[in-house]
Amino acid sequence: MAQQLLMPKATAVWLVDNTSLSFEQVGDFCTLHPLEIKAIADGESAQGIKGMDPIMTGQLTREEISRGEADEKYRLKLSLPKVRVPEAKRKGPRYTPVSKRHDRPNAILWLVRNHPELKDPQISRLVGTTKNTIQQIRERSHWNSANLQPMDPVTLGLCSQIDLDMEIEKASRGMPRLEEVAEEERLLSAAQTQNYRGRADSEDGELDAAAVFAKLTAMKRSQADVDADEDEQR
Over residues 137-187, the pLDDT tens digits come to: 999 998 888 899 999 988 888 888 888 888 888 888 766 554 454 444 455
Mean pLDDT score across all residues of the chain: 77
Q: What is the pLDDT of residue 206?
A: 47
Residue 16 within any structural domain of the chain? yes
- Residue 193 pLDDT greater than 70, yes or no: no
Residue 208 within any structural domain of the chain? no
Between 12 and 201, name the one with better pLDDT: 12
| Confidence band for 86, pLDDT divided at 50, 70 and 90 | low
Most confident of 93-102, 106-115, 216-225: 106-115
- Residue 209 pLDDT greater than 80, yes or no: no
- Residue 45 pLDDT greater than 90, yes or no: no
Residues sharing a CB contact under 8 Å with residue 227, sequence separation 6 or more, in sequence order: none
Instruction: Single out the residue of 7, 3, 17 nearest to residue 54, CA to CA.
Output: 7
| Confidence band for 205, pLDDT divided at 50, 70 and 90 | very low
As for how many domains the chain has, the answer is 2
> Does one domain contain both 60 and 104?
no
Q: Among 21, 54, 70, which residue terminates a domain?
A: 70
Residue 17 within any structural domain of the chain? yes
Q: CB–CB of 96/128 below 8 Å?
A: yes
Q: Among 50, 70, 90, which residue terminates a domain?
A: 70
Instruction: Single out the residue of 132, 120, 109, 122 nearest to residue 164, CA to CA.
Output: 122
Residue 61 within any structural domain of the chain? yes
What's the whole-number mean pLDDT along residues 74-90? 68
Q: By residue range, what is the domain housing residue 61?
A: 8-70
What's the whole-number mean pLDDT along residues 1-28? 87
What's the whole-number mean pLDDT along residues 49-57? 89
Q: Among 156, 172, 188, which residue terminates a domain?
A: 172
Residue 113 within any structural domain of the chain? yes
- Cα gap 65→61, rounded to integer Å: 7
Q: What is the pLDDT of residue 184?
A: 46
What's the whole-number mean pLDDT along residues 131-140? 91
Q: What is the value of pTM for the model shown?
A: 0.39
- pLDDT tens digits for range 63-80: 999 999 999 999 999 887
Q: What is the pLDDT of residue 64?
A: 93
- Cα gap 96→191, rounded to integer Å: 60
